Chains A and B, each alone.
Chain A
Amino acid sequence: DAGVIQSPRHEVTEMGQEVTLRCKPISGHNSLFWYRQTMMRGLELLIYFNNNVPIDDSGMPEDRFSAKMPNASFSTLKIQPSEPRDSAVYFCASSPGGVDTQYFGPGTRLTVL
């Protein structure tokens, strides 16, 4: 099993640019999560999809962040425009259903200069 796949693994961009992070969940999993991890705040949930429908986006910091899940095998997290304070590691996770037993991807390390 390939596990959760994220791309790119590293992204360096300049302030004001658009950034798109991609995630392919484990086949057959119905729930998908986007998290952000920083030293200061730890691991924080940004948004949670169930059966491709956003269930909880209360963790999305502001309107600059958006997430989509057009089908069961693909999701994107977009930041437009990016700011230096968005620098973090972004993780995608999936689960067979609900919040239990989430399987995390390797993460995307984002640096905004």
Chain B
Amino acid sequence: EDQVTQSPEALRLQEGESSSLNCSYTVSGLRGLFWYRQDPGKGPEFLFTLYSAGEEKEKERLKATLTKKESFLHITAPKPEDSATYLCAVQALVGGSQGNLIFGKGTKLSVKP
């Protein structure tokens, strides 16, 4: 069964304290891995898509990386405005066709000034 596990469930950082969020996945064939950010009371906002092991994407203080079993979202020198829940999702290849997104439960990040 396709599965996505995110860790930790919650992470508290001081402003400027760099860290990483983990997304491990089990899928028969990976077509893509997606990172979203969700602020309280809002819908998820797309951040990155990664398609193959070794691929990296960057946006401001965020960098996403992908291996064959997991993805990391690295946050460099975070600011309070980076506080949010970060969701990881995978899209599997199903019988040669594209499957739907399977989401993890997210990591809630809090950055204190």
Contact = CB atoms under 8 A, between A and B. Distances in A.
Interface of A: 4, 42-45, 48, 56, 59, 91, 93, 98-107
27 contacts: A42-B104, A42-B105, A43-B44, A43-B103, A44-B103, A45-B100, A45-B101, A48-B100, A59-B100, A91-B44, A99-B32, A99-B91, A99-B98, A99-B99, A99-B100, A99-B101, A100-B91, A101-B46, A101-B49, A102-B46, A102-B101, A103-B46, A104-B36, A106-B42, A107-B41, A107-B42, A107-B43
Given A98-B98, A100-B32, A42 B103 contact: yes
B29 to A, nearest CB: 14
B91 to A, nearest CB: 5
Interface in B17-60: 32, 36, 41-46, 49
A98 to B, nearest CB: 6
B contacts with A: majority SS: strand
Contacts of A106: 41-43
Most chain-B Cβ atoms within 10 A of its Cβ — which of A45, A56, A98? Answer: A45
Interface residues of B, number: 20
A13 B87 CA distance: 30
Contacts of A99: 32, 91, 98-101
B106 interface: yes
A9 to B, nearest CB: 9
A42 B12 CA distance: 21
A77 to B, nearest CB: 15
Nearest to B101: A99
Nearest to A91: B43
Contacts of A45: 100-101
Contacts of A4: 43
Contact of A100 (B36, B49, B103): B49
Q: Please name the 10 residue pairs, one residue from A and one from B, whose CB atoms are nearest each other, closest first.
A: A104-B43, A43-B103, A42-B105, A104-B44, A45-B100, A91-B43, A105-B43, A107-B43, A101-B46, A99-B91
